[in-house]
Amino acid sequence: MAQKRKQIPKIQHFVPQFFQRFFSFDNNGKTIGMFETNRNVFKSHVKISSHLGKKYFYGRDGELEEWLAKLESDSAPIFKEMWEKEKLPIPRSTNHFKMLHFLIVLDIRNPIHFKILKNFEQKLPYTKSKISEGNLSNDMIPGLQEQQSDKGKLSSLKSAELLVPDLLNLKYKLIKNKTSSPFIISDNPLIMYNQFLEKRNWKFGSQRDFGLKGLQLFLPLNDSYMLAVYDSNIYKLGNKKEHIVSIDDKKSIDQLNLLQFLNSENTVNFNHKVTEHYIMTLQEKSMKYKKANDEFISVHEIKVPKGNDNLTAQMIEMGVSDLNIRLTLQKLNFISKSYAVKLHKISDQYRENVKFKGQTYKVYTITTIEEN
């Protein structure tokens, strides 16, 4: 008897359906509100089954889609408990690991991530270097192309769990929204921010890397709750003992919603509590800021060891634009010892004992060129 062929979903979601249902219209689990940011089109209902997904985005063989489905089924109860029961995973438990793993994958699986890689690939041959005189080498292009392939997507997503240990020391709490402005999400809902590097005006590389000092992750869970993961050597959120931090400052909530606009590619999403007027107000505010995820390539001259006077070294830096709105949130403050942290060189920007550096949105390659 012939083996029944496995049915592969045609629409493969990059924002999981279970997660979209947390924001469904009247909690119906079937539709969600949508605003197209590039066309200013507001719709109170679109089908979750066909939204925030692309045709065979993770391939036609089903291997990656099946792997993601398992990850989602393991993660869904953890995130549902957060807003339904105000329950967070126990630190360093299996669920804590799963929570962080889901966050990393949610970021890496997004089409924006692969669009950035594509744009790096296209820009690299036309990037000039005053140091080496002429265009940069094309040596990195095959690697960028490989990461965009189905095989590359599978490899990068499956290796995401290697990044989790670097995040285990970060603190995490729930923000409880007590205002009239409901939380919203977007087609790229995980917000990576860094008030610490923003305040220091640190311009070397993008501030969106999982190993950086001052890292902040914000993920709305439904209209009333948001997961906040942050570097507790730099910030404090609420008081030391509370795990649920209530915010009743509308300006703070509006800023968090504004970040969804600036981190999105094409759409923001919401439930029945969000009005068209509120969305249009946020859209207008977003026009004052630069959007995240615009890629850049820079070339820096770096020092070479003494005795190598005939050599010139350059570093090729590939990164993306950051979210930068001078974020200020109620009950989220810098701790006093953060002001003593020194930043002089690249290595200073990373947290202690971080294994993976520059693994997400910034890539450093160093080349040494012999002078003529």
DSSP letter string over 233-255? Answer: TTEEES-SS-SEEEE--HHHHHH
Report in angstroms the alpha-carbon separations of 120 from 134, 138, 148, 187.
Answer: 18, 11, 11, 21
Is the torsion defined by CA of 341, 342, 345, 347 positive or negative?
Answer: negative
| Residues 5, 8: Cα–Cα separation, whole Å | 9
Q: What is the pLDDT of residue 363?
A: 57
Q: What is the pLDDT of residue 133?
A: 73
| Residue 59 forms part of a structural domain | no
| Residue 27 forms part of a structural domain | no
The model's pTM is 0.91
| Residue 65 forms part of a structural domain | no
Q: What is the pLDDT of residue 364?
A: 54
Question: Diameter of the chain by CA atoms?
Answer: 74
Q: What is the pLDDT of residue 274?
A: 97
End-to-end distance of the chain based on CA atoms, in angstroms? 71
- Residue owning tokens 């020194």: 342
Tokens of residue 215, six digits: 């890292």
Distance of CA 165 to the CA centre of its chain: 17
| Residue 228 forms part of a structural domain | yes
pLDDT digits (tens, 9 = 90+) for 202-244: 877 677 789 999 999 999 999 999 999 999 999 999 999 899 9
| Residue 28 forms part of a structural domain | no
Range of the domain at 359: 111-370
Closest CA to 253 of 172, 328, 335: 328
What is the pLDDT tens value at each position of the chain, 372 positions in all?
A: 445 556 888 999 999 999 999 999 999 999 999 999 999 999 999 999 999 999 999 998 889 999 999 999 999 999 999 999 999 999 999 999 999 999 999 999 999 988 988 988 888 888 888 777 777 777 778 888 888 888 888 888 888 999 999 999 999 999 999 999 999 999 999 999 999 999 998 877 677 789 999 999 999 999 999 999 999 999 999 999 899 999 999 999 999 999 999 999 999 999 999 999 999 999 999 999 999 988 888 887 777 667 666 677 777 778 888 999 999 999 999 999 999 999 988 888 999 988 887 655 555 555 655 554
Q: What is the pLDDT of residue 2?
A: 47
- Residue 286 is inside which H or E element, if any? helix 276-286
Report in angstroms the alpha-carbon separations of 354 from 99, 164, 272, 322, 342.
Answer: 19, 10, 42, 21, 17
| Residue 5 forms part of a structural domain | no
Report in angstroms the alpha-carbon separations of 308 from 169, 189, 304.
Answer: 41, 48, 7
Instruction: Please tell me the total count of domains within the chain.
Output: 1
Per the CB < 8 A criterion, the answer to whether 292 and 267 are in contact is no
| Residue 75 forms part of a structural domain | no
| Residue 164 forms part of a structural domain | yes
Q: What is the pLDDT of residue 372?
A: 45
Closest CA to 42 of 290, 291, 274: 274
| Residues 50, 53: Cα–Cα separation, whole Å | 6
Q: What is the pLDDT of residue 344?
A: 87
